[in-house]
Amino acid sequence: MNIAFAGAPGSRAPSSSALPRGLYAIVALLLLVATAAARAADPAGEILVARGVVTAYAAGGTARIVAPGSDVFAGEVISTGKRSLAIMRLADGSRITLRPDTAFEITEFETKENEENALFTLFRGGLRTVTGFLSKRNPDAMRLRTSVATIGIRGTIFDARLCGEECAEEARERPAPAGRAGFVRGRVVARSGSRARTLESGAPVYVGDTLLSEAGAYAVIAFRDESRVTLLPNSEFEVEELRFEPAEPESGSAIFRLLRGGLRAVSGLIGKSRSRGYKMRTAVATIGIRGTGYDAVCQGACQSPELDAGPDGDGLYTEVWDGAITLDDVHVVEAGETVFLGKAGFAPVPVPGLPMTLGEPRPDTVTLPPAPPPPPSSANPQAGLYVSCYEGNCAVQTEANLVELGPGQAGYVGAAGGAAEELPEVPPFQAEDPVLHAGELGGVLNRFNENLDGGGLQCTVR
């Protein structure tokens, strides 16, 4: 066996004859043991995705470039470049997505039963985590440490981000809300992509949001052009498009979609200035307006499979209480009329009224409070730590206090430390982070096309 010894520059390694035979054997044995121990160390996990430059570094060692399939170990700091992304899967099934310009350490990691322990450190940047069996087996086993707080992770999906000026810049680049929930009774959820948030009175509603109301719940939504919708119980409604500038209402457009249940709607400035700019899509017809207030109720699937669909089957009821509406720009329904349409492409049938009495108010009869200013966490996020919890529970512990966060809640600790505080909402810059959504956890990421570098580079998950 040849064994190399480090010496001064230019020096030669001593030969075996330069050492007593017994000492040489001991040195060789120690080196063999050390090598075997290093090879026997179990990895804490592996890299699933490495987009751009991703490195792993252990104290006393040298940084190495990691790629999909690379093992990562306890004691290593995983770093992403300014235009890079990494997703790792840990040995307990946890998945962690690292944003660009992030430094994250797997400080401690033990999966043995009754010895479960996972401590991570976030030095800079941000991450999204879906925890595995460690936090389920031992709720106190997983913690994420930062310079200002430690986060207890209890069977959860959460984001953590150390923000500087970049978060405020991202918030300023976000589009303005399409409207707001002026009044909410019961539980109504706004879903955007794979994320959902509980909608409360005064909360913003964005283009792309799908609103879902539970039994007994309803909401009055006020949009930027002064149009309104009362979403009825057990309903699903999507804000597909809303473009509106107060100085040019005639160039605006509003496109909504009733997916399930029912609503009561009144048009706003877009409808008054350009009626063709307003559309309410349903499974059987697109509703247009002529300065209008109307009700639309889907019965069953909102479209009957039968050709001779009648009012006793699935279909769409519409009732006009102001102005007039059109169905597919062909059939006109005037104020005081109610019709039923069971099949796309057929003529609506006049009926005596809706199949039920609506107890929820017309949106034009509800007095709404003035729109509140957006929370500072959304409009101008300050430097510090932001923690947003989507499932399970997160405990944000500082030297001053402890804040418990449940699903749909967020917390903040200033960059200088101090007490943690609960935020009025999950900051949109965090909940709708396009980088983290591109690497959505629990699914298969085949392509990452965000314009981090102006390109459309590919990455794959093994």
> Which residues does residue 446 pair with via DSSP β-bridges, in sequence order?
none
**169: part of which helix (H) or strand (E)?**
helix 165-173
Instruction: For residue 437, give every residue at least 6 positions away whose Cβ sits within 8 Å of its Cβ, in sequence order, or none.
Output: 193, 194, 195
DSSP class per residue in 399-428: SS-EEEE-TTEEEEEETT----EE-SS--H
Q: What are the tokens at 462?
A: 């093994």
pLDDT in tens, 210-226: 999 999 999 999 999 99
**358: part of which helix (H) or strand (E)?**
none
Amino acid code (one letter) for 425: E
What integer pLDDT is reported at residue 170 of this predicted model?
87
pLDDT at 268 over 60: yes
pLDDT at 148 over 50: yes
How many other CB atoms sit within 10 Å of the CB of residue 281?
15
CA distance 85 to 52: 7
Instruction: Give, in degrees to the nearest 5, the angle at Cα 323 between 317 and 324.
Output: 45
The closest of 151, 158, 112 to 131, measured between CA atoms, is: 158
Q: Which residue has the tokens 């699914």?
A: 443
pLDDT at 454 over 50: no
Asked which of 337, 365, 393 is the last residue of a domain, the reply is 365
User: Structure pTM?
Assistant: 0.64
Asked which of 334, 365, 396 is the last residue of a domain, the reply is 365
Instruction: Report the largest interatomic distance among the alpha carbons of the chain, rounded to a whole angstrom.
Output: 109
Q: Are 124 and 102 in contact (CB under 8 A)?
A: yes
| 33-51 mean pLDDT | 71
pLDDT at 123 over 50: yes
> Which residues does residue 188 pair with via DSSP β-bridges, in sequence order?
213
CA distance 366 to 150: 45
What integer pLDDT is reported at residue 19 of this predicted model?
44
Residue 97 lies in a domain: no
What integer pLDDT is reported at residue 445 of this predicted model?
43
What integer pLDDT is reported at residue 437 of this predicted model?
66
What integer pLDDT is reported at residue 49 of this predicted model?
94
Residue 257 lies in a domain: yes
Burial group, residue 40, by CB count within 10 angstroms (0-12, 13-18, 19+): exposed
| 354-372 mean pLDDT | 92
What integer pLDDT is reported at residue 321 of this predicted model?
97
What integer pLDDT is reported at residue 456 of this predicted model?
37
Asked which of 365, 384, 405 is the last residue of a domain, the reply is 365
Q: Are residues 36 and 183 in the same domain?
A: no
Q: Which of 23-32, 103-112, 149-158 has the lowest mean pLDDT?
A: 23-32
- Computed over every residue of the chain, the mean pLDDT equals 85
pLDDT at 391 over 90: no
CA distance 451 to 449: 6
**40: part of which helix (H) or strand (E)?**
helix 21-40
| 56-73 mean pLDDT | 94
3-state secondary structure of 364: helix
CA distance 46 to 54: 13
pLDDT in tens, 316-332: 999 999 999 999 999 99
What integer pLDDT is reported at residue 20 of this predicted model?
54
Bigger pLDDT: 391 vs 101:
101
Q: Which residue has the tokens 């959505």?
A: 440
| 80-95 mean pLDDT | 95
Domain housing 300: 178-365
What integer pLDDT is reported at residue 171 of this predicted model?
86
Q: How many domains does the chain have?
A: 2
Instruction: Give, in degrees to the nearest 5, the angle at Cα 190 between 186 and 196.
Output: 110
Residue 254 lies in a domain: yes
What integer pLDDT is reported at residue 194 of this predicted model?
65
pLDDT at 35 over 50: no
Residue 452 lies in a domain: no
CA distance 1 to 348: 91
Q: Are 231 and 453 in contact (CB under 8 A)?
A: no
pLDDT in tens, 234-247: 999 999 999 999 88
What integer pLDDT is reported at residue 14 of this predicted model?
39
Residue 275 gets which letter from DSSP? G
CA distance 22 to 2: 16
What integer pLDDT is reported at residue 408 of this predicted model?
84
What integer pLDDT is reported at residue 36 of this predicted model?
40
Residue 354 lies in a domain: yes
Q: Are residues 36 and 184 in the same domain?
A: no
Residue 436 lies in a domain: no
Compute CA 80 distance to the chain's CA centroid, rounded to the nearest angstrom: 21
Tell me the pairing of strands 117-130 and 142-145. Answer: parallel
Grade residue 154 by pLDDT with cuts at 50, 70 and 90: confident
pLDDT at 153 over 50: yes
Report the Cα–Cα distance between both ends of the chain, in Å, rounded. Answer: 38
Look up the CATH number of the domain holding residue 356: 2.60.120.1440
pLDDT in tens, 176-211: 889 999 999 999 999 887 677 888 888 889 999 999
pLDDT at 8 over 70: no
What integer pLDDT is reported at residue 450 of this predicted model?
38
Amino acid code (one letter) for 108: E
Residue 55 lies in a domain: no
Amino acid code (one letter) for 257: R
Residue 310 lies in a domain: yes
Amino acid code (one letter) for 154: R
Grade residue 455 by pLDDT with cuts at 50, 70 and 90: very low
pLDDT at 7 over 50: no
3-state secondary structure of 251: helix
Q: Are 244 and 224 in contact (CB under 8 A)?
A: yes
| 357-366 mean pLDDT | 96
The percent of residues in the chain predicted with pLDDT above 90, rounded, is 66
